[in-house]
């Protein structure tokens, strides 16, 4: 979340950089590009990389990003790649389908029992 006034913005530059490199890292790794896998990698990277907040004039955030060190950028890519490795070993994109199937099973059971299920 960005905090904005008329003159300045409080911004987590780490989040912007993770978003900037996320898709290219996923593509380069050959990982599943479904929304769930992408979100899992993004969450892992954000949770395992310290935030870097800046207060800057509106419109000046991108110039701040350019000032960050190569090491900082490399560390962000490493955080993303660690997330990719984790997600590739244990993808959770199939969970949404299982949840939908569970809903279908519940609906079938309720239909057979007249809407009354045991608790």
CA distance 8 to 17: 20
pLDDT tens-digit map of 67-86: 567 888 889 999 999 999 99
Contacts of 51 (CB under 8 A, 6+ apart): 12, 14, 15
pTM exceeds cut of 0.75: no
- Whether 39 has a pLDDT exceeding 70, the answer reads yes
- State the residue range of the domain holding 14: 3-92
Predicted confidence at residue 10, as pLDDT, reads 85
The answer to whether residue 109 sits within a structural domain is no
Q: What is the number of structural domains in the chain?
A: 1
pLDDT tens-digit map of 40-66: 999 999 999 999 888 877 666 555 555
The answer to whether residue 106 sits within a structural domain is no
The answer to whether residue 60 sits within a structural domain is yes
**pLDDT-based confidence at residue 100 (cuts at 50, 70, 90):** very low
Predicted confidence at residue 81, as pLDDT, reads 95
The answer to whether residue 7 sits within a structural domain is yes
């Amino acid at each position: 979340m960005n905090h904005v006034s008329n003159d300045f913005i409080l911004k987590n530059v780490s989040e912007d950089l993770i978003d900037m490199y996320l898709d290219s890292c996923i593509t380069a790794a050959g990982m599943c590009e479904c929304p769930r896998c992408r979100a899992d990698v993004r969450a892992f990277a954000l949770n395992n990389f310290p935030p870097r907040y800046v207060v800057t004039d509106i419109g000046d955030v991108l110039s701040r990003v350019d000032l960050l060190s190569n090491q900082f950028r490399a560390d962000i890519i490493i955080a993303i790649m660690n997330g990719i490795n984790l997600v590739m070993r244990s993808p959770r994109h199939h969970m949404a389908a299982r949840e939908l199937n569970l809903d279908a099973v519940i609906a079938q059971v309720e239909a057979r029992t007249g809407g009354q299920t045991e608790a």
